[in-house]
Chains A and B, each alone.
Chain A
Amino acid sequence: MIKCEDLHKVYPIGKGSGYQALRGVNLHIRAGEFTAITGPSGCGKSTLLNIIGFLDNPSSGKYYFGERDVTAFDDGKRSGLRLRGIGFVFQSFNLLPRFSALDNVKLPMLYAGMDKEPAGKLAAELLARVGLAGKESNSPVKLSGGERQRVGLARALANRPRLLLADEPTGNLDSGSGAGIMDLLLELNKEGLTIVMVTHDQGLAKRVSRVIRMKDGLVEN
């Protein structure tokens, strides 16, 4: 489903050669896999996830998403892939504070052009799916950390993505809430969703089907 060939990412610093975040990553993720990417801080995990999630462009190398070479896609096409092809779950949830939980989940569907009413209905279903039935109209500010992450997860699932990307999804949560989120992710994976998760937590990494270790911008074997 995902194939990366010799991905490089250089962040320019001043006039010098810049900082090499990725130095030739080769990666192949099959559909249905639950992959955890681990490694020390600054090893390039998040950069890789951003590139996989079309938030960032590689400096060089090839990226295939579902057989298609998407390396040279323009912003519009990449936005479209972010919208319909993948879902993002962030460490710090990244919910819009002035919107209700339901509106947060609805937002990607509205961007995808869905009408207001069916979007609302679907969003409510998704919130029920992550165990937040009855809290649709709450502002994220009034939800606990675990609940916020559940809203984030529901939002990531809004447009039925083929791939779910999670950047330290339990990093800001206590162990109980974190375990709950992890259970949900595993459940989703069982239903066929491909998941790539970046994590520090070795305990979480042990529960998934595949672990990729990174160091200094390279994938270790």
Chain B
Amino acid sequence: MRVYESLRTGTLEIFNNKLRSFLSFLSISVGVISILYSITLIYSIRTRTQKALEVAGPGRIVVKMKDRWNSSSDMEKKQARESLTLEDALALESRYPELFMTSPMLRKWIQFRVGNFSEWQSVLGVDPQWRKRGWIYKMRGRFLNQFDIDTRARVCVIIIEGGWLKKPKWLKFYDNKDRFQEFVKHEDMLGKTIMLSGNLYTVVGVLYEPPREKNPKAFLQVESWSPKILAPITTVQRFLSGYDESEGGIDQINLDTGRESTINAYKARVEKFLAARHGGRLNFLEIKDYRDIIKDKLADKQRDMYTVLIIGAIAILAGGIGIMNVTLATIYSRIKEIGIRRAIGATRGAIMAQFVIEAMLLGFFGGVAGIMVGLGGIQYLASKGNEDMIMLQWWMPFVSVLAAVATGFLASLYPAYQASKLDPVEALRYE
């Protein structure tokens, strides 16, 4: 009841001092906008990281050849002859059969040809374990099987990109059409015979990616430019002639221990095991926890997020100071009123509550104004294809307004306390 009365008085005061109120709304609004933006960003990064990790597998370890051509030390350049091999992968698999996945990969850059159509493409040599993690596809036909690997069969699987649900505007200007994707989208490739580097291969399966916005792989950009043609790794190694960086071996082995808790233990074991197989030298390899790779990829976004968050905090702080100032000004201009209210029986608590509620109301209105502008901005960014702003959740505006109201509350505590301590007799005499 008293709250209702205070709300009414507060609204009256806000309307009676329009400029004063507007100024404090302004800073609070800016704060709320940036809070809204950063909450959305944080939420987006968190959920998408989680999804990406889910898809990649919880206990993922990546064993990878180092990028030797960019290395600065002679020592590493000399290591160039050493390479990771398919035999390493097979040995790992038989040494640690409890691993959920041991998936070797080799990438080659080749010419793809069907009839008159030809295009340079990369082919990824994999084995059936590849599909154990990161399987986000709809499939027609079949995937590569162990028989293909054992017989070095000349078969392949083609991945068709999911495109966009809502294409970002900037892409409409800069996107040069992917001719290969255009081609495979419009021809039914399943069962067709195609030429890879001048040899005939049969397309045994077609995989359909989900749209970009829903593709966890695309979000992290860890595997976004991955090859769109898959073939048995043994075939790729033996028969497919094309450019590669593996020095006759393979590029990478993806491991999955099955559980996050065992990553470190297996990382050490794999390191020892591979060192033993390569004469103790391992500096041509990187053995990485997949989560670290993701973290590196996210570092930029995180910096972004913190910047916005800090700006938001500063704006809210400025808003809070504004509210404090307004509350002080209000109190000074209403000393007489405080005296009157005290004289007719208002307790100190009632006086304090009145000013705190007024300030919270200021925060609330400023917050609502900020939300309206902020939601508009986020809608705009989302329509421009900002993948993070799509993740706006219904509760985020409420949290932001709550932050604004809380700012009003905190900022007004001290001035309101001062007001409540005024001597009623003095206050009544004040003109």
Contacts and interface: CB of A to CB of B under 8 A. Distances in A.
Interface in A137-175: 155, 158-159
A76 B347 contact: yes
Interface string B1-13: 1101100000010
B12 A79 contact: no
B346 interface: yes
A82 B2 contact: no
Interface in B5-46: 5, 12, 16
Contact of A111 (B345, B424, B428): B345
B344 A108 contact: yes
B342 A96 contact: no
B348 A79 contact: yes
A55 B343 contact: yes
Contact of A98 (B12, B343, B347): B12
B222 interface: no
Which of A75, A112, A113 gathers most chain B CB within 10 Å?
A75
Interface in A151-201: 155, 158-159
A45 interface: no
A96 B5 CA distance: 14
**Interface residues of B toward A: which range?**
20 to 34
A124 B67 CA distance: 88
Nearest to B347: A79
Contacts of B350: 79, 111
Contacts of A209: none
A56 interface: yes
B82 interface: no
B1 A94 contact: no
Given A88-B343, A113-B1, A75 B12 contact: no
Contact of B425 (A55, A84, A108): A55
Contacts of B406: none
A107 interface: yes
Interface string A109-124: 0111111100000000
A155 B4 contact: no
Contacts of B348: 75-76, 79
Given A76-B347, A79-B348, A94-B428, A107 B341 contact: yes
B337 interface: yes
A114 to B, nearest CB: 8
Nearest to B4: A116
A88 B425 contact: no
Nearest to B421: A75
Given A75-B348, A83-B344, A110 B337 contact: no
Nearest to A86: B345
B92 interface: no
Given A75-B348, A98-B12, A98-B16, A115 B343 contact: no
B340 interface: yes
Interface residues of A, number: 29
A80 interface: yes
A55 B427 CA distance: 11
A84 B347 contact: no
A116 B424 contact: no
A50 interface: yes
A96 B337 contact: yes
Contacts of A96: 337, 340
Nearest to B345: A83
Interface in B326-371: 336-337, 339-350
Contacts of A79: 342, 345-348, 350
Interface in A26-43: none
Contacts of B428: 55, 90, 94
Contacts of B5: 107, 110
A79 B350 CA distance: 10
Which of B339, B346, B349, B350 gathers most chain A CB within 10 Å?
B346
Interface in A48-88: 50, 53, 55-56, 75-76, 79-80, 82-84, 88
Nearest to A88: B343
Contacts of A107: 5, 341, 344
Nearest to B427: A55
Contacts of B16: 98
B345 A80 contact: yes
Contacts of A83: 344-346
A98 B336 CA distance: 13
A27 B95 CA distance: 104
Contacts of A115: 1
A180 B248 CA distance: 114
Nearest to A87: B344
B354 to A, nearest CB: 11
B266 to A, nearest CB: 67
A83 B345 CA distance: 4
B38 to A, nearest CB: 40
Contact of B2 (A53, A94, A110): A110
Contacts of A53: 343
Contacts of A155: 344
Contacts of A56: 424-425
A159 B345 contact: yes
B347 A75 contact: yes
Which of A83, A95, A111 gathers most chain B CB within 10 Å?
A111
Which of B344, B345, B350 gathers most chain A CB within 10 Å?
B345
29 contacts: A53-B343, A55-B342, A55-B425, A55-B428, A76-B347, A79-B346, A79-B347, A79-B348, A79-B350, A80-B345, A80-B347, A82-B344, A83-B346, A88-B343, A94-B343, A96-B337, A96-B340, A98-B12, A98-B16, A107-B5, A107-B341, A107-B344, A110-B5, A111-B346, A112-B345, A113-B2, A155-B344, A158-B344, A159-B345
Given A94-B336, A95-B340, 15 more contacts: A55-B343, A75-B348, A76-B348, A80-B345, A82-B342, A82-B344, A83-B344, A83-B345, A83-B346, A84-B345, A90-B428, A96-B340, A110-B2, A112-B345, A113-B1
